[in-house]
Amino acid sequence: MESPSIISRAIETIGLNGEPMVMESLSASCLHDVRRIKTGNDFSVVCKCSFDPDGATRLLSEKNGLEFLSSLNVPDLLVPEVLGIHVDPRGVVLMTEWIEAGPVMKDGWSNLGRVLASMHSMDVGDRYGFHESNHIGSTLQVNDWSDDWIQFNRSCRFAPQLELATRSGLLRSEEIDLIERVSARLEEWIPENPPAAPLHGDLWAGNVMHSVGGRVAIIDPACSIGDGWADIAMLDLFGSIPMECFEAYSAAVGCRYEDMKQRVGVYQLYHVLNHVNLFGHGYLSQLTGLLNRLLDS
């Protein structure tokens, strides 16, 4: 396997050549070979390796997303520092800071809600999109700039996912019709011009960490700029985050979570449709359930 040799070369580029190293395989990613590298002086680096062109592009996008989130300087939020990226003919290695996971502290989930509200309040202008398209999992995520959040969701979120699922034969005509009906009525559920917020973009529970020091960390972003509730929708999609997180977020932004259920449902549709594209028919029931709830509301 190429990983050990290319990692050794990558580590040298950040000044750790000659250090005794221990490589520990991590199961944090289904898209890349991920290793924790421990040196003799107890310094650790996370190395993500990719050996195909699409994977290399994803790692470059992840690097840019981490640097974007880090540049926001959100109080009490940890974002792994990018230590370097190594590119050679064999593949690409993204090297980031190791963050030691710890137990969830008292009020840890409420703190996550407040930290996300703080992140979403950062000034990033008033347009929606991002300076580059990136990936949500292995799916291309289109981030063309727009002044209209509704149109952005139609053209950059729903349309590409629907096209991919249709081309792959994953959807029946009934499901395509439901998605097109929801897309045509987006103005009923989401605003045209919400405050523009920096988004992590792929904020499921596996991309949230509670660190040894008690601070919240977020990893593996798919960044864009949009409605902050889009991050909350993904976080609440699979029901593994305690409600106190969402209550704290709602209190910090000044609204009731219950009042945002339809908006959250629209944003969850994007991620469930992406799961259909990534993992197949097993997510169709969840998809049609979300679609019907919106259309019946």
Q: Establish whether 202 is a catalytic residue.
A: yes
Among left, alpha and beta (phi > 0; psi -120 to 50; other), residue 247 is alpha
The size of the chain, in residues, is 297
Among left, alpha and beta (phi > 0; psi -120 to 50; other), residue 129 is left
Strands (E), 18-81: 21-26, 33-39, 44-50, 77-78
Rounded Cα–Cα distance for residues 281 and 238 (Å): 17
Per the DSSP assignment, residues forming a β-bridge with 21 are 39
Choose the catalytic residue: 33, 126, 177, 202: 202
Rounded Cα–Cα distance for residues 246 and 252 (Å): 10
* 244 secondary structure, DSSP code: H
Q: Alpha carbon 228 to chain centroid distance?
A: 13
The residues annotated as belonging to the active site are 202
